[in-house]
Amino acid sequence: MGGATETFYSVIRRQGITRRSFHKFCSLTATSLGLGPLAASQIANALETKPRVPVIWMHGLECTCCSESFIRSAHPLAKDVVLSMISLDYDDPIMAAAGHQAEAILEETRAKYKGQYVLAVEGNPPLNEGGMFCIDGGKPFVEKLKAMAADSIVIIAWGTCASWGCVQAAKPNPTQATPIDKVITNKPIIKVPGCPPIAEVMTALVTFITTFGKLPELDRQGRPKMFYSQRIHDKCYRRPHFDAGQFVERWDDESARKGYCLYKMGCKGPTTYNACSAVRWNGGVSFPIQSGHGCFGCSEDGFWDKGSFYDRLTTIKQFGIEANADQIGMAAAGAVGLAVATHAAVTAAKRLTRKPGRVAQEK
Amino acid sequence: MLDKSLQALTAAVTLDPVRSSSSERGVVYVYEAPVRLWHWINAAAILVLSLSGYFIGSAIPTMPGETSDNFLFGYIRFAHYLTAYVLTLGFLLRIYWAIVGNPYAKQIFYVPLWRKSYWREVWHEIRWYAFVAAEPKEYVAHNPLAQFAMFFMFTLTIAFMIVTGFALYAQGTGNDSWQYRLFGWVFSIWPNSQDVHTWHHLGLWMIMTFALIHIYTAVREEIVSRQSIVSSIIFGEREFRD
């Protein structure tokens, strides 16, 4: 555990990282955040002078894929940098301490850095049965979360679980898994959705907060604008095929081999806000669409409940049967069309049979 | 002009929408020129929007040839957006005309649900369409049932389509666009824009169902009722035939 006065720079120098590498990291980070050339020196200055920010990283109902993603951050330095940049005081799956020792750290941080530490939450609390479905350190996770949130400065909601609910909150959500912003309402919350979020997005976000000491600009949904203001679709390299009207219709057809647009295969790129098509995964190697599969929309709210991943139109379950908007609409229009035709027939029949009588009456 | 010559007659007609059957055979100027013009532009816009919208939702068969030689899906989407602007501007001007136009121009924007006589007349219309009532009543503008369908199936749906449509359009124009500033709140209701797509799509079928009923009843009433319908929306005046 680093002291409060220890800076990030002193930590990485101690780890044997050269000043040259440090500046490389600063310019790389400035670029990935979309900042100007002067920002690199600002970042360097901040990291040399500012005390390391204590971070408590808690795990609720989740699968740890966010952590798995985070520690695989593409640039090897970036991972080291972030892990030493922040003072990661508590992170139960990867920390050395366990049991009472680990729990003691929570209390210690809370008392020592009251109103100064960042609370990163991976996963979410289930609220049903008094939070019984996620017990952590002998207590329901929701209680631990509320206690630690009370004295934090900002909460980072890692991943779709913490941001939207994800698979454990999918219908019928038996444990009543609830996203962080529905449980903690009095703290600023940054949502970093994705299942998992992109490693570089996570590290860049932490860098931004520790460097500038402020929150990045958030969009309407509480996501950092710098990574979530555009859809996968907007930067997709297959976009020209979409505009041309060239679509994959079967997984093994000619279009699939030519790498055409996956719109018809249910790609959720047009409705998914994330940076995959710009940053990509595994060190910029690829992302789902580049590998020939449509986007799932894993960073979107309730993505498990929008029907098949391979349908363009969402399944609408409210109608009792599983149907999409087209099937429901066509059924409604068809029924009305049939009614209209019947009505027209009856009108015609009535008119034909009534006519002689009516004419006679008028005479 | 035809409009001017009829104005004296329009002024002479009382605002009572129900004419007693004993009144003399007459012609009333109902649909003013802007309303008629809007009606047909709007109808054409809906036709283009429905077709292009359906293709956007379901996509077209794959275009052969080089990608750089094709832009069909782009053009379909462009047609949808362009026509959407036409429809929206038309709708706004139509609201303006509801304020400055004649009383009949206001009809599609409200339903007098609070009026007892309204419900009585709706009941009569239902009986007429169920072949129970022998004779339809005469109305200068929409009959009560038509007004109900017009407001709930058409006016509200079109407003809904404009709002959700611009919200979806804002996804392309970006977070800093005026479209997002004006209509981005839609994504506070449905955080996953996939839902907005689904609702927008259901709206298409609502409009289609309305169009079916609307065209059928207009043609049917033209033939069997005691007043002109189809010619009224072309020439503006309503002719009572008995």
- Mean pLDDT, to the nearest integer, of B90-100? 96
Domain ranges of chain A: 8-227, 233-312, 323-362
User: pLDDT digits over A195-220, tens only?
Assistant: 999 988 888 888 788 777 788 999 99
Query: B2: pLDDT confidence band, cut at 50, 70 and 90?
Result: very low
What is the reported pLDDT for A73?
75
Judge: B220–A246 Cβ closer than 8 Å, yes or no. no
Query: A362: pLDDT confidence band, cut at 50, 70 and 90?
Result: very low
Average predicted confidence (pLDDT) for chain A: 87
A246 in contact with B, Cβ within 8 Å: yes
Rounded CA gap, B41 and B47, in Å? 10
Judge: A326–B58 Cβ closer than 8 Å, yes or no. yes
HSE at residue A110, side-chain half, CA atoms within 13 A, is 15
DSSP characters over A192-235: E-SSS--HHHHHHHHHHHHHHSSPPPB-TTS-BHHHHSSBTGGG
What is the reported pLDDT for B225?
84
Interface residue of B58, B60, B73, B160 to substitute, partner A, most A CBs within 10 Å: B73
Which of A230, A270, A332 lies closest to B205 in CB terms? A332
**A9 vs chain B: nearest CA distance in angstroms?**
36
User: pLDDT digits over B48-85, tens only?
Assistant: 999 999 999 989 999 999 999 999 999 999 999 999 99
B71 in contact with A, Cβ within 8 Å: yes
Q: Which two tokens stand for residue B72?
A: 């069909």
- Fold type of domain A233-312: Cytochrome-c3 Hydrogenase; Chain A, domain 2 (4.10.480)
The CA–CA distances, whole Å, from A60 to A66, A150, A157, A192 equal 12, 17, 11, 16
What is the reported pLDDT for B15?
44
HEC assignment per residue over A83-147: HHHCEEEEECCCCCCCHHHHHHHHHHHHHHCCCCCEEEEECECECHHHHCCCEECCEEHHHHHHH
- Chain A residue with the nearest C-alpha to that of B213: A340
A302 in contact with B, Cβ within 8 Å: yes
- Chain A residue with the nearest C-alpha to that of B71: A244
What is the reported pLDDT for A78?
58
- Chain A residue with the nearest C-alpha to that of B205: A329
B131 in contact with A, Cβ within 8 Å: yes
Contacts of A328 in chain B (CB under 8 A): 202, 205
Question: Using CB atoms and an 8 Å cut-off, which of residues 217-236 of chain A contact chain B?
Answer: 219-221, 225, 229-231, 234
Asked if residue A77 has pLDDT above 80, the reply is no
B70 in contact with A, Cβ within 8 Å: yes
Whether A11 contacts A84, CB under 8 Å: yes
User: pLDDT digits over A161-188, tens only?
Assistant: 999 999 999 989 999 999 999 999 999 9
Judge: A326–B57 Cβ closer than 8 Å, yes or no. yes
Residue with tokens 């035939």: B241
DSSP-derived secondary structure letter, A53: P
Nearest to A194 by CA among A65, A323, A292, A42: A65
What is the reported pLDDT for A230?
93
Which of B61, B201, B212 lies closest to A340 in CB terms? B212
User: pLDDT digits over B7-48, tens only?
Assistant: 444 444 444 445 444 345 588 999 999 999 999 999 999 999
Rounded CA gap, A126 and A133, in Å? 6
Judge: A344–B216 Cβ closer than 8 Å, yes or no. yes
As a whole number of Å, the end-to-end CA separation of chain B is: 27
ipTM of the complex: 0.84
Q: Which two tokens stand for residue B81?
A: 């957006």
- Chain B residue with the nearest C-alpha to that of A247: B62
Which of A246, A300, A340 lies closest to B70 in CB terms? A246
What is the reported pLDDT for A356?
54
Indicate the helix (H) or strand (E) that contains A76.
Answer: helix A76-85
**B145 vs chain A: nearest CA distance in angstroms?**
16
B62 in contact with A, Cβ within 8 Å: yes
What is the reported pLDDT for A36?
83
Indicate the helix (H) or strand (E) that contains B239.
Answer: strand B237-239
Judge: B192–A297 Cβ closer than 8 Å, yes or no. yes
Which of B59, B131, B204 lies closest to A263 in CB terms? B59
Other CB atoms within 10 Å distance of the CB of residue A85: 25
Cβ–Cβ pairs < 8 A, chains A and B = 133
Contacts of B57 in chain A (CB under 8 A): 312-313, 325-326
Query: A320: pLDDT confidence band, cut at 50, 70 and 90?
Result: low
Judge: B76–A245 Cβ closer than 8 Å, yes or no. yes
- Mean pLDDT, to the nearest integer, of B181-208? 94
**A86 vs chain B: nearest CA distance in angstroms?**
31
- Fold type of domain A8-227: Rossmann fold (3.40.50)
A14 in contact with B, Cβ within 8 Å: no
Work out the widest C-alpha separation in chain A, in whole angstroms: 113
- Chain B residue with the nearest C-alpha to that of A339: B213
A243 in contact with B, Cβ within 8 Å: yes
Query: What is the set of domains in chain B, with CATH numbers?
Result: 29-239 (1.20.950.20)
Question: Is the Cα dihedral A26, A27, A30, A33 positive or negative?
Answer: negative
